[in-house]
Amino acid sequence: MRTALVIGGGVAGPVAAMALQRAGVAATVFEARPGPADEQGVFLTLQINGIDALRAVGVDVAGLGFPTPAIRLRSGSGRLLGQVGTGEPLADGTVGVTLRRSDLYALLREEAQRRGITVEHGHRLVDAVPDGDGVRASFADGGSATADLLIGADGVHSRVRTLIDPAATPPRLLPVLNVGGFAPPQETGAEPGVYEMVFGRRAFFGWAVAPDGGVWWFANPPWRAGAAALTDAQWRTWLRDLFADDRTPATAIVESTPGELRGWDSHDLPSVRRWHDGRMVVIGDAAHATSPASGQGASMAAEDAVQLARCLRDAPDPATAFTAYEGLRRDRVQRIVRAGARAGKQKVAGPVGRILRDALVPVGLRMVRPGAQNWIHHRHIDWDAAVVGPGIRSGRRSG
């Protein structure tokens, strides 16, 4: 049986390990963090295409989070700009869901371990070199491991990406920060399961009401140096000032949120020149990080993991498999990255830009035809279908 080292224990890593196992490749996951822990960020959206990709490897997220099939957009004055769906439901009624990031990570890690996949913590990759017909990975703790393949699922600041291409373009810093939390039940004017998103005068704010009445919220302040070092009190003061002139419950939501607020930067990768080299390949954010505004980061990671495993199952060798995988994925994900960047820029419009945006958004939403976003959300992965690509014979490989 072929073997693989999967670097990264977020979304892409455990899904890749499970998909590879189904394709006849034994994988071990190596995570840099010393143990399971809440990840940066508070919650995420898993869209229909991501749910479909997880189903392809027998993972069900039912019971995690809650459905969020629509977004209602408002201006800072409170004016309703329009409503848009997060993707037409599938025939069985499946819609996108919002769930705690830590819950998704725990589900994927625990399901991988239940299937006999080893997940090693505290192993930060520092180098990887060819080793016969495989690859040897070296870790910061002095350990090493060898396998036939090495898969980089190690995020936007991927070490594997720079090992594949030392001249790789670094991630692009986005012009907004991220902060969020979970507030107790309160009146916000939102319908359960429908995101309310406000283009505020100075910052963007969004929230959704969970089934228990709790308010899950996020804010996108303009980027500023040193934001990661701000204290909880400084974050709360800054957010209160940012939203003071908007007609929104943002201030009340933030002030009622327990715990310590911490913000973080966002990055994207408009294009990564090389996705693979020899026995190494990147997936998920390591290959194509997108703005959080796209709502597609986790879903794209799951798609990558499943499609890579299918290619390795059907191709005669890793080089052919990696080429086929890139052919299946590159155009699609780069288009989504571009769409996410456009959506993110709308959040930081200047005074004139705000006027134009608030005037044009309602017109644009009215022009959106039903199913216009199906190219994103309705991407079904048929696990049993043979991969078609250069160097891959029609029909399935055995094993």
Q: What is the CATH number of the domain that holds 105?
A: 3.50.50.60
345 band by pLDDT with thresholds 50, 70 and 90 = confident
Domain assignment present for residue 250? The answer is yes
The answer on 216 and 158 residing in a single domain is no
Among 207, 236, 256, which residue terminates a domain?
Answer: 256
Among 210, 225, 256, which residue terminates a domain?
Answer: 256
Compute the average pLDDT of residues 56-68: 95
Name the token pair of 12: 């892409």
Domain assignment present for residue 72? The answer is no
The answer on 285 and 228 residing in a single domain is no
Domain assignment present for residue 261? The answer is no
Name the token pair of 312: 């390795």
Domain assignment present for residue 53? The answer is no
Q: What is the Cα–Cα distance from 399 to 385, expressed in whole angstroms?
A: 15
The answer on 342 and 202 residing in a single domain is no
Q: What is the Cα–Cα distance from 120 to 13, expressed in whole angstroms?
A: 12
Q: What is the Cα–Cα distance from 79 to 398, expressed in whole angstroms?
A: 59
Kindly tell me if the per-residue pLDDT of 389 is higher than 90: no
> Which percentage of the chain shows pLDDT scores above 70?
94
Q: How many domains does the chain have?
A: 2
The answer on 289 and 346 residing in a single domain is yes
The answer on 190 and 273 residing in a single domain is no
CB burial of residue 254 (10 Å; 0-12, 13-18, 19+): buried
pLDDT of residue 398: 41
The answer on 281 and 154 residing in a single domain is yes
pLDDT of residue 368: 72
Compute the average pLDDT of residues 54-58: 97
Compute the average pLDDT of residues 111-126: 97
CB 40 within 8 A of CB 129: no
Compute the average pLDDT of residues 105-129: 97
Q: How far is CA 236 from the centre of its chain?
A: 26
Q: What share of the chain is helix, strand, coil (3-state, %, to 5)?
A: 35, 25, 40
Q: Is 189 left (phi over 0), alpha (psi -120 to 50) or beta?
A: left
Complete DSSP assignment for 124-183? -EEEEEEETTEEEEEETTS-EEEESEEEE---TT-HHHHHH-TTPPPPEEPSB-BEEEEE
pLDDT of residue 40: 55
Domain assignment present for residue 127? The answer is yes
396 band by pLDDT with thresholds 50, 70 and 90 = low
The answer to whether the Cα torsion of 96, 73, 244, 357 is positive or negative is positive
Q: What is the pLDDT of residues 244-254, one digit of tens each?
A: 999 999 999 99
Bridge partners (DSSP) of residue 349 are none
Compute the average pLDDT of residues 332-353: 81
Compute the average pLDDT of residues 276-303: 95
Name the token pair of 380: 């079904």
Q: What is the Cα–Cα distance from 242 to 220, expressed in whole angstroms?
A: 10
The answer on 289 and 339 residing in a single domain is yes
Domain assignment present for residue 396? The answer is no
Kindly tell me if the per-residue pLDDT of 263 is higher than 60: yes
Q: What is the pLDDT of residues 69-109, one digit of tens each?
A: 999 999 999 999 998 888 888 888 899 999 999 999 999 99
The answer on 113 and 21 residing in a single domain is yes
Domain assignment present for residue 234? The answer is yes
Name the token pair of 78: 């409170």
pLDDT of residue 353: 66
The answer on 233 and 327 residing in a single domain is no
Q: Given the structure tokens 């006999």, which residue do they identify?
A: 116
Q: Which domain holds residue 201?
A: 179-256
Domain assignment present for residue 376? The answer is no
351 band by pLDDT with thresholds 50, 70 and 90 = low
Q: What is the Cα–Cα distance from 250 to 247, expressed in whole angstroms?
A: 9
The answer on 349 and 227 residing in a single domain is no
The answer on 106 and 29 residing in a single domain is yes
The answer on 140 and 109 residing in a single domain is yes
Residue bearing the bigger pLDDT, 155 or 353: 155
- The H or E element containing residue 104 is helix 101-114
